[in-house]
Amino acid sequence: MNGWHMAIAAALCLLLVACSRRESVFSLSPVFTAKSSISASAVAGCVAHRWKQGTRRLRRGERAGAITLRAESLFNGAPIGLRVVPGGRYTRVEYFRRRRVGPLYWSMVRGCLDPDAGDGADGTPDAPTS
């Protein structure tokens, strides 16, 4: 191999690594943001319950007081995420998605923000209003 072949091989390797790198869904700006009077742990628990059957690879984490949920949409595998941050009287909820997914997942989140919605144990998410 001469110098040109090695340079081309190195460039292809760099291109492959750069294209295959996956950043977290939380590195994006949130698609939707909302506030709720329900506690952060209750909101996160409700959403996790609703997302459990409708997503793949559901993971929950906590860092610096914020609760995060990340998963992949069931049919097309698009990464989605939720950050729930307690703050005084209100809980801030931020919804993230890597690619376009249907309104089902945000609808599930919205259903958990209403104090009268219950814990979602019935398994039926609220229908989108928009």
**pLDDT tens digits, residue range 3-16?**
887 788 887 776 66
Superfamily designation of domain 24-113: Kinase associated domain 1, KA1 (3.30.310.80)
pLDDT recorded at residue 44:
92
- Global pTM? 0.68
C-alpha distance from residue 98 to each of 26, 72, 124, 125 (Å)? 9, 10, 25, 22
Query: What is the residue whose two structure tokens read 């709720």?
Result: 36
DSSP symbol at 116: T
d(CA 83, CA 68): 5
Confidence of residue 92 (pLDDT cuts 50, 70, 90): very high
User: How would DSSP label each residue in 46-107?
Assistant: HHHHHHHTTEEEEEEEEETTEEEEEEEETTT--EEEEEEEEETTEEEEEEEESS---THHHH
Closest CA to 71 of 59, 61, 63: 59
pLDDT above 60 for 121: no
